[in-house]
Amino acid sequence: MPDVSSTAPAQVDRWVALDVHKNSLVAGVLSASGGAPEVIRMENTERAVRRLVDRLGGPERLAVAYEAGPCGYDLFRLLARIGVACDVIAPSLVPVRPGDRVKTDRRDAKKLVRLYRAGELSFVEPPSPEHEGLRDLMRAREDIRGARTAARHRVQKALLRHGHIYREGKKAWTKQHAAWLHRQRLADPLAERALAHMRSHLEAIDAQLATIDAELARVATSEPWCDPVRWLASFRGIGAITALGLIAEIGDFRRFAHPRELMSYLGLTPTEYSSGDQQHRGHITKCGNRHARRLLVEAAWHYQHAPRRSERARALEPHVPEAVRIRAWQAQVRLNHRRRALIDHGKRSTVANVAIARELCGFLWAAMTHQPLREEELAA
């Protein structure tokens, strides 16, 4: 995870940590001199927040933090409009005492404000409203894709229960398979009605997904997304929608100082339990952003094929920097060779593919952060 520094001013008179809920806020307030935290309970409204800031002496020399959660970043933006320095805490990285078995809003507010003042908290980078809107649309598409998969399974299993098995082709959900589905009729009238409703539900989901894809196609060619989309789409296995998904989930690649930070953020680094002379490494952590990780793993499968310049890549060449074009080609050569080497050494294809996704992550970071090409890269 990138090291997001606190926005607290150099001189702070009051440290405030908020435990945020839909209808209420519990504030833990600690003065710069220390002592016992004061706990204030109030409504989760703009008026109550402004009154709290006035009660604590105004926005100057005031530092506020709260955990990222289902209430989103509306409170962060409200405090920013008031002029208060606000940090958004990463909940999964809050220190937890092993013996602490009591959890209340008051205890959470007190604990957070003590850790905030001590500098023991990690923070997230709040997205802009435009970036958050793109993320919402991409995740809505993800949800609809999941609903389509479930609807497809219901149709297939309903036919299977009545002995209708598709044997006219090897793959399902092709045009040939769709034509076969529409020809199927069940003997029982009630079962046939149930199947008709399942088909109608699936068709509605397909139409909704097509509408979202059309909207995303327009977004991909508009500012400020068009240039980053073109750069990412120069890499094999990444189309416009995949590029938008990576931008929505990762945001600004430049907030990661090193590609290993991005790999860790996406949960693509291996787990490790080492002590003394013993080293134990296991599967990937999967503790990061699962949406972007899935997109990278899917893109990595394309590098099992020999390197070649596709028509899409050639069409994008006039619109992307030369460094990005060179890196996209080097990624094809390097990752295809790396995958074959891993397979030849006995690695399973799924394990090798995750390793390729991790290296692809490094290529993307270098391209999106405008890293200069090395001499050997220029020579290639």
The pLDDT assigned to 377 comes to: 59
The pLDDT assigned to 2 comes to: 64
Give 88's strand partners: 66
The pLDDT assigned to 3 comes to: 62
Helix 290-300 / helix 240-250 crossing angle, nearest 10 deg: 150
- Regions of the chain where pLDDT drops below 70: 1-3, 375-380
Are residue 350 and residue 248 in the same domain, yes or no? yes
CA atoms of 345 and 176, how far apart (whole Å): 39
Please answer whether residues 118 and 176 qualify as being in contact, where contact means their C-beta atoms are separated by less than 8 angstroms: no
The pLDDT assigned to 84 comes to: 96
Helix 226-233 / helix 240-250 crossing angle, nearest 10 deg: 110
Are residue 209 and residue 238 in the same domain, yes or no? no
The pLDDT assigned to 192 comes to: 96
Please answer whether residues 268 and 354 qualify as being in contact, where contact means their C-beta atoms are separated by less than 8 angstroms: yes
Are residue 53 and residue 147 in the same domain, yes or no? no
The amino acid occupying position 116 is: Y
Are residue 370 and residue 297 in the same domain, yes or no? yes
The dihedral sign for the CA sequence 335, 337, 338, 340: positive
Out of 167, 194, 220, a domain closes at: 220
Are residue 305 and residue 361 in the same domain, yes or no? yes
DSSP code, position 372:
P
Are residue 233 and residue 353 in the same domain, yes or no? yes
Are residue 231 and residue 374 in the same domain, yes or no? yes
Helix (H) / strand (E) containing 187: none
Out of 73, 99, 118, a domain closes at: 118
Are residue 136 and residue 184 in the same domain, yes or no? yes
CA-wise closest residue to 360 among 298, 317, 309, 313: 298
Q: Domain range for residue 97?
A: 14-118
Residue 45 lies in a domain: yes
Are residue 20 and residue 49 in the same domain, yes or no? yes
- Which CATH number is 109's domain given? 3.30.420.40
CA atoms of 107 and 26, how far apart (whole Å): 10
Out of 118, 152, 173, a domain closes at: 118
The pLDDT assigned to 101 comes to: 85
Q: Dump pLDDT digits (tens) for 55-83.
A: 999 999 999 999 999 999 999 999 999 99
Are residue 237 and residue 322 in the same domain, yes or no? yes
What pTM does this model have?
A: 0.89
Are residue 372 and residue 336 in the same domain, yes or no? yes
Residue 4 lies in a domain: no
Q: How many domains does the chain have?
A: 3
The pLDDT assigned to 371 comes to: 86
Are residue 315 and residue 171 in the same domain, yes or no? no
Residue 8 lies in a domain: no
